[in-house]
């Protein structure tokens, strides 16, 4: 595979921490993605969960209690795989399973409050930091960044089968 010099520079900067080429937006998007993945691995390690467990916890914390079937659909794994994920999360003390209030045949999964507090303690400084960065931007910068991100989101949606369906 032929590697262009700019691609080689970005790859090297990613490995050795060299400054990114000035004005190289592609490299910065790539670095943002890498940092996001690194943060998710950090959060998973903090909680002692795997990727699927972190995804399930994210949904439980951000959208509230759910049945195992709903959660499997949101995380896009089989119900059998979700059962294994929930077993591990429950064993680790990260969730509770209770009977559904209106249908006693169903279970409802709820994130444990202590785990929610752990996640918030790790994530809220990032959210506050993003809010601080946004607060320093003027209206023109916000419009430019929002437009750029909207176009990237559309590219990702176009590249996936679900087209950006919420919950996926």
Q: pLDDT tens for residues 35-54?
A: 999 999 999 999 999 999 99
What predicted TM-score, i.e. pTM, was given to this entire model? Answer: 0.76
The alpha carbon dihedral of 126, 165, 70, 100 has a sign of: positive
The three-state secondary structure class of 95 is strand
How many residues comprise the chain? 168
Which two structure tokens, joined as six digits, stand for 42?
Answer: 């950090």
- The per-residue pLDDT for range 97-121, each reduced to its tens digit, is 998 888 878 899 999 999 999 999 9
- CATH level 2 (architecture), domain 49-111: Orthogonal Bundle (1.10)
The three-state secondary structure class of 87 is helix
The answer to whether 114 touches 93, Cβ cutoff 8 Å, is: yes
């Amino acid at each position: 595979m032929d590697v262009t010099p700019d691609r080689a520079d970005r790859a090297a900067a990613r490995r050795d921490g060299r400054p990114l080429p000035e004005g190289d937006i592609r490299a910065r998007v790539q670095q943002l993605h890498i940092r996001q993945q690194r943060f998710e691995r950090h959060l998973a390690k903090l909680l002692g969960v795997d990727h699927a467990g972190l995804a399930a916890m994210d949904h439980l914390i951000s959208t509230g209690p759910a049945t195992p079937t709903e959660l499997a659909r949101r995380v896009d794994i089989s119900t059998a795989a979700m059962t294994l994920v929930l077993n591990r999360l429950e064993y680790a003390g990260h969730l509770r399973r209770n009977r559904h209030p209106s249908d006693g045949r169903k279970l409802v999964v709820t994130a444990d409050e202590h785990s929610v507090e752990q996640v918030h303690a790790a994530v809220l400084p990032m959210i506050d930091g993003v809010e601080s960065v946004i607060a320093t931007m003027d209206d023109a910068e916000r419009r430019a960044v929002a437009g750029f991100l909207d176009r990237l989101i559309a590219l990702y949606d176009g590249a996936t089968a679900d087209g950006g369906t919420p919950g996926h």
